[in-house]
Structure 1
Amino acid sequence: MVDDQEPGGRPGKRPAARGTAFYPRKRANTACQVCRARKTKCDNRKPSCSYCLSVGATCIQSTTDLSSFDPASLKILERLDDLERLVKDQKESQDTVLPPIRPLEEPETCANRPEHERPNAEDFILGSVLPERVEQVVTWACFSDHNQAPHASTVPGAYSPSSVVGTPPVTGSTSLDDMDPARLNHLLDNFFTFVHCKNPILDEPLTRRLVRRAFLDDGIDWSAGSCLSLIIAALGCVSAPFGPTPDIAPGKPAYVDGQAFFQASQRRIGTLLATSDIVGAQCLFLSGVYCMTVFQPIFAWRYFAQALAACQHFPFLTRAQQQTHADADFSAEEMDMGSRDTHEQAVYWSAWKSEQELRSDLSLPDFGVSHSGSTLYPPFFPTPPGPQLSLSPGAVPEPHEQRARKAWLFYLAEISLRRLNSRLCSEILTLRSTYPSTITFLEVLCDMIPEYEAQAQEWAASLPEIFSVHDTDAADDDVCRSVLRCHLVNLFELIYWATTMACLNIPGEGQHHLSERTREMGRRGLEAHVNRLRSNEPGLAHRHHGTLFMIKCCSRSVLTLLAAHERGMQMPPRWGDAVYKGLGMLQYWAPEVPEVVPWKSTVEESLNKWVNAAY
């Protein structure tokens, strides 16, 4: 068994750094993390300070005497506090209540514009033209009676760090130096069947040999191969066939083993940050996948960002940069992407889209657009490994070749849909900026919607038979087809979102200002929300690295349907059943995901109000 304890440092205080005179000496900051973030005085009571005790927050107090830090380090800590406060302030400014219905612009502003650009008297504030985050939807005015100040632990992304990097270390049932071969094969099968199928960034035969050698032959050491092997084992523990996964929950043996393997991997991953090979990027990306699987989005984003940074030295990116400098008209789509670049392109693409999605969802700083979908994805498709995708007629592929073929077909299909979603987001935003009048914008958008619908249907029709969502039952889906089906529903939600918001923003008696086309598209939007909850039903209790996004999308649909009913809109058939399915999902995940608790309470109170009114 390899000793995992970190080597000790030299005793005594750190000597003052050069340039000490340039930094004023700061008193050591001993406040807990919560009080430091709030910039308030902390009384440092043990085990919890007074403020954390009053709000029920986890009080995390530093065990390190910061007075031994040199002035430059204290300055860095002070700057980090400022950045943390900036993130919090930015988030609070974005999570605003849906504005009331009122004229789009003040009269004196309109008077200064050309007559053809002035909004009509019936114009109104539309709100968002792209789907909002559920954290914003729950603050809509129709839910104002249910909104309460969020518990400190329910702030988006505010999960306890101990659940990932637990202290003391978690001890699983499987020792690192005593792995049973049958157990290892089971973990590898789980990983390649249920995790790798969505992001094929590894060569399966080579990786299986590497993991077996690490666990069964050479033993776990501090190498990159051992780090990757441990992460794969961790993901194998927390992965299972599509469907409810109650056996993978905190405290269950599989979950505990996964945490033990993951923590062991993280004691080795630091050395990979200084390497320049692909293994470091793969380890970082898969660490982010694990963190998403156990609902730790902040940690996941950090890993995805580091993985993306580790990809920047890859040869195919270097070639693209060189050709761009040599030819201003060069496009990456024209670049010759060889099969040797396959896994480099795959890990780059996976890290890129994962970092983008999470950075937008968590409202992290330095993100230049308001919606992840409005950022165009890289212009090239990863190059699939040729032999796995072009089998000769009559040939019987090996199981790993079948998995690789299916994984890459899914991967390319998902990438193409993401790019379509991204492009439609940009077009809708451009339409909105082109037509300041809300009524005019809605009419132009309704002209465009049939084309958008046709593009979505064209993508669905192009899917391989194994992933076809036409004339198939969602109950028969595996995880890959379920993901594609639900992504398609997301696209339709995007297409109809602005018209649905228009109907929500105008009370029933005022909707004569909207055209019949706008009202029809608004109703189609509600149907998309019902369809989302039905399509996701087989996976509402399934744990995988996309579960958190699924929970948020379904919660948004539940709240939107309840808001539409409150507004007196014409509701689609069986919408109530769909809402109760969503409530069941929230009840299932609430014990593990604190962020879900206020959404569940809002849904329950809205349903109680609806039921009471019916009687």
Structure 2
Amino acid sequence: MGGLHSVNNGSGNGGGSASTPTTAGRKRQSVDGVEYPRRRATIACEICRSRKSRCDGSRPKCRLCIELNVECIYREPGIKLDAGDKLILEHLNRIESMLHNALPASPSQMQMHGGAASPAVSATTGLSDDILAKPTLNLANAGTGGNQVGLGTWTNFSSMPKVHSTPALNLLQWPKIKQLVSREYNPQHLLQLELNRTPLQLNSSLTLDLSNTAAYVQAFFERVNVWYACVNPYNWTSYYRTALSQGFRSGAESCIVLLVLALGNASTRGSISRISPDEDPPGMSYFSAAWGLLPSLMTRTTMMSAQCSILTAAYLFYIVRPLEAWTLLSSTSMKLQLLLSTNPPAMLPTASRELSERVYWNALLFESDLLAELELPHSGINQFEESVGLPCGFEEEDEEPVVGGRDDLWYFLAEIALRRLLNRVSHLIYSKGTSTSISSLAPVVAELDYQLTQWYENLPTPVQFPHSRMLLSNPVQTVLRLRYFACRTIIFRPYILAVLENEKLGHDSTVRENCRKCLEACIRQLEHITEHHAGHMPYLWQGALSMVSQSLLVMGATMSPSLASVLPPPDQMDVMFQDVIEEVERYSHLAPSLRMSAEIIREAEERRQMYQRNHGMRV
């Protein structure tokens, strides 16, 4: 790295290896600090584990896998789970079981309870393999009786559809909402702005100050690793020592340590939107040093080099460089597909498999979030979803975990389950060629809403957010609540379109109730706009576009007499929209796509108020 110099490395202990207790310190801990017993071996195969069935342990195939005619995969004998991991997996398996469900044949088979599908229907619907093999659901035929229509296999819904209408700017083509802007927009405008953006310029020869290493490493493990769960706190000290011995000038360990310092530093400064545009983003010196190591690592086909790419992408999302993140992730995806095809996770040693699972899921989550807003090529990484298991906990090493370090998987697993559901929503409602007529939409929406409810109800207590309107102090609960309402919004959003196209539909009680659910979910995301700061490390760019999307939807609703009647009073709406405008404008200097988003939302509010005055809807 040429002129890279490290100065004042403090104690040189890797930013947190110093400390404390002996054997008790090595016990895994839950979120609330309760110590768990040592791990115990499990023998259930992956299929039995996912179905929560008793496995007879027969090799090479257990009885259930023989009956299902599927591959039977056992965890390595050395893999052990502690009580905390078992709780995580138990809750996630419940969530996943809901997402395996299929719709019944006709509306008469849907037992409706408060607008949601009956658990008796949703939890027990069984379809034959040939039905489940169908990749999509033909909504035009749903509910006609006679032929069952499957929701598709798990794999078919693991990524966003290649053509879909979920992006925020698609709303500008809707009736009434298109009157809120003076020019035509579409998602390609966002992409083109990012393509034409000035390339990221980094100086990898900066002097590297390691005096705050301990604080930044602790901040990373306390505030950042919860979102990505891809750095092992139990072998961190050995990574740091290796990086230190190399002078942070070469090797995957050096790159990982520098990226941890960059992200840890960033997490100590709050929202990047509140940092002066004239100031370098916090952590940039560490990131620049890591960036200088990437070219040599990009040519290495190893899981650690892929791990470096994931952490790099995380920082690129933090500084709102979505297209650079996608470019890096595309290369990483190819590397992961090669690694997974030549070394299936089930055949890897415990530690290697755990890391590969976490890197894989991060890559898939990142890609899905980008594909939800931008028309980008798909990498194909989703094809490995069924062969890659869910992470269940890093094995403890001989050394103590870093100070502040804990292997917290609850958010990460909950996000995997929710992203799968979001992708399913996009396939069933928003993919090209699907019918969204009111009659065909009802059973699909009811089932998806039921699955979202089950996702929430099966969240472990430490991350299960309250439904109250109070501000939350727990950032994980805050982000999950925002993601929950974003998913709920998109499930019910077609009903808003239906009323905007035909005002008479707003008088139908079922349509009106579903519109109310959609608008309520929108408002819950916008009423405390600063809540979005909790997700600024992983979701600032996505969160900003979500704000714009929900605001445009509610703005359109205020222009419809039947929809306006289910909204809060107009003066409350005015204040809420103004708060959104001010918040998005604070982000506008971070990316050209966000600058355009800020311009759109400000013009939309001005034209909305003018529309209401001209139509006698405003005193």
Q: TM over 0.5: same fold?
A: yes
- 2:273 is equivalent to residue 275 of structure 1: no
Aligned equivalent of 1:404, options 389, 403, 406: 406
Q: C-alpha separation between the residues in 1 aligned to 2:432 and 2:541? A: 31
Check whether the contact 1:288–1:304 (CA below 8 A) recurs between aligned residues: yes
Kindly state the Cα deviation for residue 443 of structure 1 after the two structures are TM-superposed.
Answer: 2.2
- 2:466 is equivalent to residue 511 of structure 1: no
- 2:217 is equivalent to residue 191 of structure 1: no
1:482–1:186 Cα change, 3 Å:
same
Kindly state the Cα deviation for residue 214 of structure 1 after the two structures are TM-superposed.
Answer: 2.8
Equivalent position amino acid for 1:352 in 2? L
Kindly state the Cα deviation for residue 303 of structure 1 after the two structures are TM-superposed.
Answer: 1.3
Aligned equivalent of 1:530, options 512, 523, 533: 523
1:463–1:191 Cα change, 3 Å:
same
Question: Unmatched 5+ residue regions in structure 1?
Answer: 6-112, 118-128, 322-331, 389-396
Indicate the residue corresponding to 1:179 in structure 2. 210
Q: C-alpha separation between the residues in 2 aligned to 1:421 and 1:477? A: 26
Check whether the contact 1:565–1:571 (CA below 8 A) recurs between aligned residues: no
Aligned equivalent of 1:563, options 556, 567, 582: 556
Indicate the residue corresponding to 1:21 in structure 2. none
Check whether the contact 1:493–1:528 (CA below 8 A) recurs between aligned residues: yes
Kindly state the Cα deviation for residue 336 of structure 1 after the two structures are TM-superposed.
Answer: 9.9
- 2:250 is equivalent to residue 252 of structure 1: no
Kindly state the Cα deviation for residue 481 of structure 1 after the two structures are TM-superposed.
Answer: 1.8
Check whether the contact 1:486–1:532 (CA below 8 A) recurs between aligned residues: yes
Kindly state the Cα deviation for residue 446 of structure 1 after the two structures are TM-superposed.
Answer: 2.3
Check whether the contact 1:130–1:497 (CA below 8 A) recurs between aligned residues: no
- 2:472 is equivalent to residue 476 of structure 1: yes
- 2:392 is equivalent to residue 361 of structure 1: no
Check whether the contact 1:134–1:552 (CA below 8 A) recurs between aligned residues: yes
1:486–1:347 Cα change, 3 Å:
same
Indicate the residue corresponding to 1:71 in structure 2. none
Check whether the contact 1:446–1:518 (CA below 8 A) recurs between aligned residues: no
1:356–1:451 Cα change, 3 Å:
closer
1:365–1:131 Cα change, 3 Å:
closer
TM-score under structure 2 length normalisation: 0.63
Indicate the residue corresponding to 1:210 in structure 2. 239
Equivalent position amino acid for 1:134 in 2? A
Deviations 1:417-454, CA, capped at 9 Å, x for gaps: 22223334334469974xx5x5xx31232244343332
1:265–1:161 Cα change, 3 Å:
farther
Indicate the residue corresponding to 2:580 in structure 1. 582
- 2:193 is equivalent to residue 158 of structure 1: yes
Indicate the residue corresponding to 2:21 in structure 1. none
Deviations 1:305-347, CA, capped at 9 Å, x for gaps: 1222222343x654559xxxxxxxxxx9xx9995641111110
1:317–1:376 Cα change, 3 Å:
closer
Indicate the residue corresponding to 2:61 in structure 1. none
**Equivalent residue pairs, number:** 452
Check whether the contact 1:205–1:400 (CA below 8 A) recurs between aligned residues: yes
SS in 2 for 1:404: coil
Indicate the residue corresponding to 2:598 in structure 1. 600
Kindly state the Cα deviation for residue 608 of structure 1 after the two structures are TM-superposed.
Answer: 3.3
Question: Unmatched 5+ residue regions in structure 2?
Answer: 6-139, 145-162
Deviations 1:457-505, CA, capped at 9 Å, x for gaps: 2111111111111356652243322221122112211220111111122
Check whether the contact 2:306–2:335 (CA below 8 A) recurs between aligned residues: yes
Indicate the residue corresponding to 1:133 in structure 2. 167
CA RMSD of the aligned region, Å? 4.0
Q: C-alpha separation between the residues in 1 aligned to 2:533 and 2:304? A: 33
Kindly state the Cα deviation for residue 165 of structure 1 after the two structures are TM-superposed.
Answer: 3.4
Deviations 1:168-206, CA, capped at 9 Å, x for gaps: x2776xx22x521xx011221222222221111121232
Kindly state the Cα deviation for residue 356 of structure 1 after the two structures are TM-superposed.
Answer: 3.3
1:549–1:187 Cα change, 3 Å:
same
Kindly state the Cα deviation for residue 223 of structure 1 after the two structures are TM-superposed.
Answer: 2.3
Identical counterparts, % of pairs:
19
Kindly state the Cα deviation for residue 299 of structure 1 after the two structures are TM-superposed.
Answer: 0.5
Residues 453-464 of structure 1 correspond to what in structure 2 (within 5 A)?
Answer: 453-464=449-460
TM-score under structure 1 length normalisation: 0.64
Q: C-alpha separation between the residues in 2 aligned to 1:209 and 1:528? A: 46
Kindly state the Cα deviation for residue 379 of structure 1 after the two structures are TM-superposed.
Answer: 6.5
1:448–1:538 Cα change, 3 Å:
same
